[in-house]
Amino acid sequence: FWSVCVESMSLFNSLSSKAFRHSTLLSHSCASRRSFVAISNFETEVELPYKKLVDKLQIVRKKLNKPLTLAEKVVYSHLDDPESVGAVKRGDSYLKLRPDRVAMQDATAQMAVLQFISSGLPKTQVPSTIHCDHLIRA
């Protein structure tokens, strides 16, 4: 019984190792073919800022020198100035963030859209969407 288990485990380890190597090679070859990932199928010219987020997160990791939770990684990678992360005090500090996308609901988006129209700008800084759920008849 034990020899069968050991043989099965060694076969599993061998196969999973080969699969991992193959998937790594595949992902590298796919990455070399595509220069960037579009934020959506409708906005193909807008690139997801993965490199910028990773760079900011590395700065924060060097400054804090501690393990980070997923929530901290998400928030800290969107900081406007990651160099100032040492001065952040939980529950006390205000953070200046740079979001990748702005999603608004229909009830509050009307004012934001009116303010944007009155600004005279041709385009928003980040992709924006309005999600209408209050005007739907139930």
Rounded Cα distance between 113 and 109, Å, is 6
- Domain ranges in the chain? 1-34, 37-99, 102-131
CA distance 114 to 58: 38
Q: What is the pLDDT of residues 44-79, one digit of tens each?
A: 777 778 889 999 999 999 999 999 999 999 999 999
Q: What is the pTM of this model?
A: 0.59
